[in-house]
Amino acid sequence: MTRRIRFHQAGGPEVLRFEEYDVPAPQAGEAVVRLHAIGLNRAEAAFRSGHYVEQAQLPAMPGYEGAGIVEAVGPAVGGIKRGDFVSIIPSFSMNRYGVYAERAVVPAASLLPVPEGLGAVEAAAIWMANLTAYGALVDICGLAEGETAVITAASSSVGLAAIAIARQVGAVPIAVTRSPDKAQALRQAGAAHVVVSGREPVAERVREIAGGNGARIAFDPVGGEMVAVLADALAPQGTLVLYGNLSGKMRETPIPFGAMAGKGLSLRGYLVFEVIHDSARFARAREFIQRGLQAGSLKPYIDRTFPFEEMVEAHRYLESGGQVGKIVVTVDEEG
């Protein structure tokens, strides 16, 4: 018997329940991983609360990202074996698999060897953030040296990865945050400029920083009214990539037709699965990220860790918005 965490109804962090269960044998293309660490993502909170792009089939076990030791592999699995130290990447639906458990069955295709020099906590924090940011900025938008990118919710793990990736290609990252207390941490993480929304006119400041015309790219998980602000901040033929709904206003998010038509802007919806499920694009993403990790230009940003027993508290902290970087839950002290 081992423990897992599921929810039987949508709601706040308190709906997460610990349960004991027998881990099933892995089927073809699957593996069993003994988790040492679980990286938390806003997608899991949205899934739990009923506001994700995919509605949970109850009862459901969340969890996209983790690190641990392979305990068993099913038929038709190559490239990994029992005893391998692996990261779990978000390549699956949480209605089929999840990693909020001491041991979990996952697709073998979701496992990557942990890069040299990283422990379990770091290995559970590198892939979702960097794959998401790379996919938008480099793969889709082709961000290049000297160009300017606006990054909202910049203190999130994805935001920090986007800052680092922009720096890696020689671009100029402008970080947008609601909290003036996070400005220094964002500068230390590599933001060339920090704009505090609510205290500064975001669009005006971005245009000023970018030399008048505005930025070529905006990378946003907020939505709502922020879409119109960012459209105003973009240069002609700029692109706004929308990858989340932190505002909770998915249905009320405006389409700023005047700015978009007048400047020829592109509005691009995006989820990380687009890159992960395309073998050629994923191979390029993985090579880029591994190169950055080896060079030290990319790294995991860990804000805080919680023990497995405090998953509810970890979700409360996740939703507080107070963190700078990734929240990781530790499962096994050996990790």
Distance CA 92, CA 67 (A): 16
Q: Which residues pair with 101 in a beta bridge?
A: 4
Which pair of structure tokens corresponds to residue 323? 């963190």
What percent of the chain stands above pLDDT 70? 99
Helix axes 157-168, 279-295, angle to 10 degrees: 80
Band of residue 334 on the pLDDT scale cut at 50, 70, 90: very low
The average pLDDT across 253-264 equals 90
Bond before 115 cis per omega within 30 degrees: no
Q: Which residues pair with 70 in a beta bridge?
A: 33
Find out whether 104 and 34 touch, Cβ atoms under 8 Å: no
Distance CA 315, CA 287 (A): 32
Longest C-alpha distance within the chain, in Å? Answer: 62
Distance CA 335, CA 332 (A): 6
pLDDT (0 to 100) of residue 28: 96
pLDDT (0 to 100) of residue 283: 97
Helix axes 127-134, 279-295, angle to 10 degrees: 110
State the DSSP string of 57-118.
Answer: -SSB----EEEEEEEEE-TT--S--TT-EEEE-S-S-TTT----BSEEEEEGGGEEEPPTT-
Number of H helices, E strands in the chain: 11, 15
pLDDT tens-digit profile of 104-143?
Answer: 999 999 999 999 999 999 999 999 999 999 999 999 999 9
What percent of the chain stands above pLDDT 90? 90
How many CB atoms neighbour CB 219 within 10 A? 33
46 has a pLDDT exceeding 70 = yes
pLDDT (0 to 100) of residue 248: 76
pLDDT tens-digit profile of 4-24?
Answer: 999 999 999 999 999 999 999
321 φ/ψ sector (left φ>0, alpha ψ -120 to 50, else beta): left
The average pLDDT across 163-178 equals 97
pLDDT (0 to 100) of residue 197: 92
Q: List Cα–Cα distances, 188 to 159, 182, 183, 184, 194, in angstroms.
A: 13, 10, 9, 6, 11
312 has a pLDDT exceeding 50 = yes
- SS3 readout for 101-149: ECEEEEEHHHEEECCCCCCHHHHCCCHHHHHHHHHHHHHHCCCCCCCEE
The average pLDDT across 71-92 equals 95
| Nearest residue to 329 (alpha-carbon basis) of 309, 312, 307 | 307
pLDDT (0 to 100) of residue 250: 67
Domains of the chain, start order? 2-125+300-330 (3.90.180.10), 128-273 (3.40.50.720)
The average pLDDT across 157-163 equals 97
Band of residue 212 on the pLDDT scale cut at 50, 70, 90: confident
* Per-chain mean pLDDT for the chain: 95
